[in-house]
Structure 1
Amino acid sequence: MDVLAAGLPIAAAFVEVHEPHPLRLAAASALLWPLIGVFSKRYTPLAWGDRGGLRAVIRDWLVLVGALATVRVVCGLDSVPAEAFTALIPALVLTAVCQKSIHRHLLAARRNARALRHVLVVGEAPTVDAVVEQLAQRTDHEYVVVGACPVGDGEMRSGVPEYVRLPGEAPESPETDALAVLTAADEIAADLVFVAPGRLMSGERMRRLSWALHDGGRSLMVLPGITDVARRRIRLTSAAGLTLLHIAPPLQRGSHTVAKSALDRAGALALILFFSPLLVLLALAVRLGSPGPVLYRQTRVGRHGKTFAMWKFRTMVVDADRLKSGLEAQNENDGHMFKMRRDPRVTPVGRILRRYSLDELPQLFNILFGHMSLVGPRPPLPEEVLKYNGVEMRRLSIKPGLTGLWQVSGRSDLSWRETVALDLRYVDNWSLAGDMNVMARTLRAVLDGQGAY
């Protein structure tokens, strides 16, 4: 596919503009494109399942453009015609589409317990349990823990089979650890071994274990203990023999936030103008559907704990807030939020608005006034924030959003823990490209209506 995507359009373009040696240049393109992919490891299984594969394809495509320009200079030809540059675009598009398709099929296979790699985890018992729990929360990765070699006397609670227990103190003979782990890996046919460093698994002990695993043909991965950090924020370096993991800070200030704010307000204004006929129709439906005002004004907590008035189309009866106290026993959410699938306070028109998130559209004005963003964590109520712990308070370090990871991942069907985890992942790893991805996924989530009540 890559050969045809690079060769045929180039040949057609050069023939059209009467370029000398069109077939040779097309053959060079067809050869260079897959070669660049080989050298950048774009054809490896790891790259196929990588969400960030599109960036690698774009980088390789730019290398291809530069390489072809160099070839033309070496051959004494004129500058690259515009037609030839345009003809290179199919190579980028088709490769990106194939990469996306492969990733989508891998995700589907992993959800059906296929295309997985069996993992043996080595580490202290609480750490092993934490690794198992973290991997079990999601199905978009290729690892499944099939066994463990706990270090020390701690008790494992995850239910993963314990094949051998390593002593708490490093043995005098390094072969003791190696033999035990290799035997366990062979017994369960593990594809690779996860090793979690800790008090009982020192750097030197782990180093000797890695020698034995590699000599025995086993792959090794070291778990640094951090979670939900985007790969783009991580950089490996070394100093004095130490391997250092540099983690860039979240993009919560500077030019990126200025750009996000500008795009938020411009996007909100454009959407208000685009949806203005719909806004008028929805306002009429709310006003005629039940007695009471069209808009519902509610105090919410924004960035750094600052409160603001958030607007929504009214979906409940007028005295809904007063009736809430009598329904607390029927709360179906396991956290600080109040959610009921069949809330008696919701009006018939309100149920339709809620199902398709149409009641949220007035929040575009909140975005225009700077209270909210197009994408961000769910805006909480003041009484919810009073119950927050230190971790949950981090959700307030950026502006809340009209949509977010919670909106495209299940909405009200999520547990409180899942909601917080998604919001924190967004807070720590947000980017403009990520916002575009969330907004694209929001349309599908809204049309599906799942988790909206």
Structure 2
Amino acid sequence: MTTVEVGAAPWVAPVPELPVRPQAPTDRIESDAARSSALAAGAAARRITPALERRRREQRRYRRRLVATDTAVIVIVTASASLLHLLAAGAPALAADPWVIFRLPFTAAVAWTAMLWAFQTRSPRVIGAGSTEYKLVAHATGLAFGFLAIAFIVLQWDGLRDQLILALPVGLLILLITRRGWRRWLIAQRRGGNHVSRAIVVGRRAAIEHVISTLERDNQRAYQVVGAALDDAPAGSAVAVPAGTYPVVATPATVAEAAREMGADTIIVASQLEDAEYTRHLSWQLEGTAADLVLCSRLTDVAGPRISFRQVEGLPLVQVRIPSFEGARHAYKRALDLLVAVVALVPIALVTPVIALLVMLDSPGGVFFRQRRVGLNGQEFDMLKFRTMRASAEQELPALLAQNEGAGPLFKLRSDPRVTRVGAVLRRLSLDELPQFWNVLRGDMSVVGPRPPLPSEVGGYDGAVFRRLYIKPGITGLWQVSGRSDLSWEQSVRLDLHYVENWSLMTDLMIIWRTARVMIRPQGAY
């Protein structure tokens, strides 16, 4: 969805004088009265409503909290890095340059804070907007220290190394953690009805139903739909979706007035209306009433990073970047895979003897289970897992096919009799998948990607489902942090295709973080 900010006009443009015929004093009085009435109505329309002022007040309060937290983190981290530098250098360094204890952290803190402000990391448009907020914080931090590195090299200031080695990674990590904490607080507040945009959805019935259903599934809870605006709906009608029923409160022509009366601060245009000038005139009518006019895009499963806007002679064009499955971005992804795999295999090597002993004591058979899976471009490979079933599990499968509870071509049983006691625990905690980091190191898999399918599953693919094989399968992915085995086949395919076409390094990092949470509180793992 595209958001257009609607600002409150601080003044009312005067009505231009038009040539009129001479008229009687009574006509002049009536004309002056009508003009005054029109000006008063226009001024009233542009006056900020209590609902809009409430929303802006909440945004200012939340922004001040972010400013306070960011500033505290930056000051503490930069001061700590400078203090450690002085402790390592000793008293002679402080005696030679007593201002170094203030100059280094002050300069770093000012540059860092300025970059966070310049990148608009606290703008309402990025708050709760997926990975955008985290990405902006990371970019601002990197650019700030890039400028500092250049300045310190030119000025030959001592202590740069400590700021880059300590302040940059530690400070960025803490900033992201605190932003995550504030976001969770914000979502909790939204569930209670605070910090939420009261929205009216405008358009045709089918489009309105689709938009409302999508918003109700959104975990961010950014919008609270209070009504719909239909052109041909009779009085007292409603729009029904699985989540509930929403009243029709206006027509597209009267939605601005309805927003003013109901205290709605956002209008969502769900479908393109016949009147080409409708959106423009609606934005004028909403001045002083709503903060956002949101245009719902018909582009399904296209993420924000692939969408850009440009103007050609006043014509707004929406550009959608075609997915690419090679190049520098994929080289960066491979570098991230290698880094994560190398780091992860160290603790995995330490716990493997313990898990291996438990597996062997629980049931006879090998420690590892090898299974043919299909990877990038249809290439098959042997995927490694800790064994969680009896050694005869493959031979017992045909007798259980009639009890299949899996979605589509997948075979799943909530209470599979072949799973051992230790295997059930490993599956619930996703520990059985730890050996797959060896597959990542070999290049067969990625840390994040679509679910690795069996050859028998790929044989049943048709149409767009083959696009799942355009990138390497992953140990984790959107499917794992969104319900795993509880997902339907269609939901699993949709999540995988969405990831294949819209992935980014920041998205991968967020999925890795969410996977760690899912391992602690497993859902759909059996």
Query: Is the shorter-chain TM-score for this pair beyond 0.5, marking a shared fold?
Result: yes
Aligned-residue offset at 1:220: 0.7
In the TM superposition, residue 129 of structure 1 has moved relative to its aligned partner by 1.3
Counting only pairs closer than 5 Å after superposition, residues 46-445 of structure 1 correspond to structure 2 as 46-50=125-129, 51-61=131-141, 78-82=155-159, 86=163, 96-151=176-231, 156-158=239-241, 159-164=244-249, 166=251, 177-178=252-253, 180-198=254-272, 200-214=273-287, 217=290, 219-265=292-338, 267-268=340-341, 271-272=344-345, 274-445=347-518
Identify if the C-alpha distance between structure 1 residues 141 and 229 changes in structure 2 by more than 3 Å, giving closer, same or farther.
Answer: farther
Which has the higher Rg, Structure 1 or Structure 2?
A: 2
Q: Distance in 2 between matches of 1:114 and 1:350?
A: 44
The structure-2 alpha-carbon separation of the partners of 1:142 and 1:215, relative to structure 1 and needing over 3 Å to count, comes to closer
For structure 1, the residue ranges without an aligned partner over 5 or more in a row are 167-176
Distance of 1:332 and 1:113 partners within structure 2: 38
Question: Which residue identity is paired with 1:446?
Answer: M
Rounded to whole Å, the distance in 1 between the matches of 2:73 and 2:425 is 46
Q: Which moved more, 1:18-27 or 1:180-189?
A: 18-27
How much is the aligned-residue C-alpha RMSD, in angstroms? 4.0
Q: AA paired with 1:451?
A: G
Give the conservation status (yes or no) of the 8 Å contact 1:123–1:195. yes
Deviation at 1:297, TM superposition (A): 3.2
Retained in 2: the 8 A contact 1:251–1:429? no
What is the aligned-residue identity percentage? 38
| More off after superposition, 378-387 vs 29-38 | 29-38
Q: CA deviation at 1:400?
A: 0.9
Deviations, residues 240-264 of structure 1 (Å, cap 9, x unaligned): 2111222333452112223433543
Spell out, residue by residue over 1:348-401, the C-alpha distance to the aligned partner (whole angstroms, 9 max, x if none): 232122122232233334334432222211112233334445343332221111
Of stretches 79-88 and 62-71 in structure 1, the one that deviates more from structure 2 is 62-71
Aligned partner letter, 2:210: A
Change in Cα spacing, 1:34 to 1:275, as seen in structure 2 (3 Å) is closer
Q: Secondary structure at the match of 2:286?
A: helix
Instruction: Give SS of 1:379's match.
Output: coil
SS at match of 1:312: strand
1:197/1:203 contact within 8 Å kept: no
Q: Tell me: CA distance 1:66–1:236, structure 2 relative to 1, closer, same or farther (3 Å).
A: same
> Quick one: structure 1 residues 324 and 191, their matched pair in 2 at CA, closer, same or farther if it must change by over 3 Å?
farther
- Cα 1:360–1:18, aligned 2, differ >3 Å: closer, same or farther? same
Higher relative contact order (CA 8 A, sep 6+): 2
Q: Residue type of the partner of 1:109?
A: Q
- Could you give the per-residue CA deviations for residues 177-222 of structure 1, whole angstroms, max 9, x where no partner exists? 43x2123323432111011343x44533333333333375563111
Q: TM-score, normalised by structure 1?
A: 0.79
Cα gap change, 1:326 to 1:137, in 2 (>3 Å): farther
Match for 1:358: what amino acid? L
- 1:20–1:225 CA distance, 2 compared to 1 (3 A): same
- Tell me the secondary structure at the aligned position of residue 203 of structure 2: strand
2:266–2:290 contact (8 Å) kept in structure 1: no
2:15: which partner in 1? none
Range that drifts further, 394-403 or 410-419: 410-419
1:252 match: secondary structure: coil
Partner residue in 2 for 1:172 = none
Distance 1:41 1:258, change over 3 A: closer
Structure-2 change in CA distance of 1:339 and 1:250 (3 Å):
same
Contact in 1 for aligned 2:233/2:248 (Cα 8 Å): no
- 1:351–1:222 CA distance, 2 compared to 1 (3 A): same
Residues 394-413 of structure 1: CA distance to partner in whole angstroms, max 9, x if unpaired?
32221111122222333323
- Mapped to 1, the partners of 2:203 and 2:122 lie a distance apart of 32
**Counterpart AA for 1:425:** H
Give SS of 2:277's match.
helix
**Cα distance in 1 for residues equivalent to 2:194 and 2:358:** 48
SS of the counterpart of 1:380? coil
| C-alpha contact (below 8 Å) 2:135/2:506 kept by paired residues | no
Select between 353-362 and 200-209 the one with higher mean Cα deviation.
200-209
What displacement does 1:238 show? Answer: 0.9
**AA matched with 1:102:** W
Instruction: Provide the C-alpha distance between the structure 2 equivalents of 1:79 and 1:315, rounded to a whole number of angstroms.
Output: 59
* Structure 2: segments with no counterpart, 5+ residues: 1-67, 87-92
Secondary structure, counterpart of 2:371 in structure 1: strand
Distance (whole Å) between structure 1 residues aligned to residue 441 and residue 151 of structure 2: 51
Deviations 1:286-322 (A, max 9, x none): 3443234443333322223333333323322344344
